[in-house]
Structure 1
Amino acid sequence: MTATTTPAVPPRDLAGVPNEPATTPPRKNPFGLARTLRYAALLFFLAVVLVPVYVLLVTSFKGAGDASPARAWALPTTWTLDNWTAARDALAPSIWRTLQMVVPSAILAAVLGSINGFVLSRWSFRGANLVFTLILFGMFIPYQAVIIPLNQLVLDLGLPSGIPTLILLHVVFGIPITTLIFRNYYQTVPHELVEAARVDGAGMLRTYASVILPISLPGFVVVLIWQFTSAWNDFLFAVFFSSYNNGPVTLALNNLANGALLQNYGVSMAGALFASLPTLVVYIVLGKYFIGGLMSGSVKS
């Protein structure tokens, strides 16, 4: 008597349908042509961006005789910190004045933009779209086109030259962009939150302070970084509304590059790096929050 073998029955699912054997998807080649070209392009643009930084960095450590256009690419013959010491001594007072300017101007512009954005996005009134459009016009007017009448207005008002006037100007010219960012961000806030506050009897200011402001951190991070860097890097307002003795670091850096130390490229390069350190630190520390805040306000209703 011969034994008979029963053919293997494929497993079935709950519906009684035979399960097909799992197939392993083909693995992508990590060194494909498209990916290789993409990384090559990224490395190329990275090199283009870092080349000026390299020249700035190596020149800042060169002595007066070693820092010259002919040796811009060469490493220092003798490494020295004298350029950094001279740049620090020359720019330290102006950097402190710049901090006194950018911190209050960024905070005030952020608060005013937040209030405007909330009112224009969640507290509708007749003519709100027209008001928003008029505010946005301030973003598209070049500073160079209004600098002469603006200078005359400042003189007629009797505003003093220096940091207080620069704070006022940066706040006024920062309101359009901060209003736009906050309005787009508040458009993503659910209507139910505002409606619930209204039902509970909260007015506009109470709704803003108790409901909207606690969830506005991403928007404030974006606006504060934007305003901080814009005010820190500004040069046009500094030239017209301040002087070397009471102006920001951009004015002092320009004076350092065009003064008696013109032939000492090392001091100029060290001063440029020294003046850019605060904005670099801000982006390194808050960069990921900046991108997250932009993305959180990217959806418009």
Structure 2
Amino acid sequence: MTAGQITEIQPAQQAPNQAGVAPFGPKPRRISAGRIGIYAFLIVAALFFLIPVYIMIVTSLKGMPEIRLGHLFNLPGEPTFQPWADAWLHACTGRDCFGLSPGFYNSVKITLPSVAISIICASINGYALTFWPYKGANLLFGLLVFGAFVPYQVVIYPLIIGLSSVGLFASLPGIIIVHTIFGMPILTLLFRNFYAAIPVELFKAARVDGAGFWRIFFYIMLPMSVPITVVAVILQVTGIWNDFLFGIVFAGRSNWPMTVQLNNIVNTTTGVREYNVNMAATILTAAVPLLIYFISGRWFVRGIAAGAVKG
């Protein structure tokens, strides 16, 4: 082959690489009716959710004389954080006037073990149903998924009878068990779908090397499960922290979570209705789930894309 032939072949060899890098086709217009419509919809949707948040924040920073003027959207003339201190320490939640702080610690005591236990059990269930299927595994999985669609109100009375018979009704262990049970179906579904997307060759290679059930789980599956675990944590923390029904029924008065305390503050019928304290208390109650989502939001999206909604 001569040098001239080589120089003729080289452009042909480089053409596919250039075609793969260089853009082609008509360049999209910068502004179009469709793009304007999309941005307009997104802005309206954002305002729909952000305006109430804005009102809550500015109201919580105003004094009651300024609130009575009726200027809902105005910024506070003399900002004060006293409503926040009152909401945390002095607001009356019934006969007690200790603010939201007792409810916050109760919510922490309920949420942490409920989230940990439910995620550990669901990850093991999803792993076993995916890689160690046994006779009747699909039936059990179907029953678990069915449990995710059973209305809570239907099973409250049977749960009250069951927990009362073992002495766990209106107690901290009782409410933890309830949240763990109701979080199991959806979390098992998430973990099973996530593990189903993992190449089975990894599991087979570990089996060939002599690894057993727990060794494969702890050394192979668990390190790969960080994205879906973050998804599960966000879902469970949000659901348990924001729960009101189970908290007021199963926790008992001494263990009432933050949402029950907030309801007692907002719906009190005695004294002056302090809207600034109510708004501050609402923001404080919602702060923990929002903070967790903002910190781990990118992991949430990654976990969803990695198999959380795959069939």
Which of the two has greater helix per residue? Answer: 2
How far apart are 1:195 and its partner, in Å? 0.8
Asked whether 1:225 is paired with 2:234, we answer yes
How far apart are 1:244 and its partner, in Å? 4.5
Q: Report the Cα distance in structure 1 between the residues aligned to 2:160 and 2:188, rounded to whole angstroms.
A: 25
Q: Give 5+ residue unaligned stretches, structure 1.
A: 1-11
**Structure 2 residue matching 1:283: 3-state secondary structure:** helix
Q: Give 5+ residue unaligned stretches, structure 2.
A: 1-6, 16-21, 90-98
In structure 2, which of residues 301, 305, 308 is the aligned counterpart of residue 291 of structure 1?
A: 301
Residue type of the partner of 1:34?
A: G
Residue type of the partner of 1:103?
A: L
User: Which segments of structure 1 move beyond 6 Å, counting only runs of 4 or more?
Assistant: none
- TM-score for both structures, normalised by structure 2: 0.86
**Residue equivalent to 1:270:** 280
Residue type of the partner of 1:201?
A: G
How far apart are 1:57 and its partner, in Å? 0.8
8 Å Cα contact 1:243-1:251 kept in structure 2: no
In structure 1, which of residues 7, 14, 21 is the aligned counterpart of residue 9 of structure 2?
A: 14
**Structure 1 residue matching 2:210: 3-state secondary structure:** coil
Using a 3 Å threshold, how does the CA distance of structure 1 residues 252 and 156 change in structure 2: closer, same or farther?
same
Q: Report the Cα distance in structure 1 between the residues aligned to 2:113 and 2:127, rounded to whole angstroms.
A: 21
How far apart are 1:160 and its partner, in Å? 4.6
Residue type of the partner of 1:114?
A: S
How far apart are 1:243 and its partner, in Å? 4.1
How far apart are 1:276 and its partner, in Å? 1.0
Q: Report the Cα distance in structure 2 between the residues aligned to 1:23 and 1:216, rounded to whole angstroms.
A: 37
How far apart are 1:289 and its partner, in Å? 0.2
CA RMSD of aligned residues (A): 2.3
8 Å Cα contact 1:61-1:80 kept in structure 2: yes
Residue type of the partner of 2:293?
A: Y
8 Å Cα contact 1:244-1:252 kept in structure 2: no
**Residue equivalent to 1:137:** 146
How far apart are 1:13 and its partner, in Å? 5.0
Q: Once the two structures are aligned, what percentage of the paired residues are identical? A: 38
Q: Report the Cα distance in structure 1 between the residues aligned to 2:177 and 2:34, rounded to whole angstroms.
A: 51
Residue type of the partner of 2:295?
A: V
Using a 3 Å threshold, how does the CA distance of structure 1 residues 162 and 68 change in structure 2: closer, same or farther?
farther
After superposition, the C-alpha distances for 1:185-233 in whole angstroms (9 at most, x for unaligned) are 0001111111112212222222212221121111111111111111000
Matched length? 287
Using a 3 Å threshold, how does the CA distance of structure 1 residues 263 and 194 change in structure 2: closer, same or farther?
same
Who wins on radius of gyration, i.e. which is larger?
Answer: 1
**Structure 2 residue matching 1:202: 3-state secondary structure:** coil
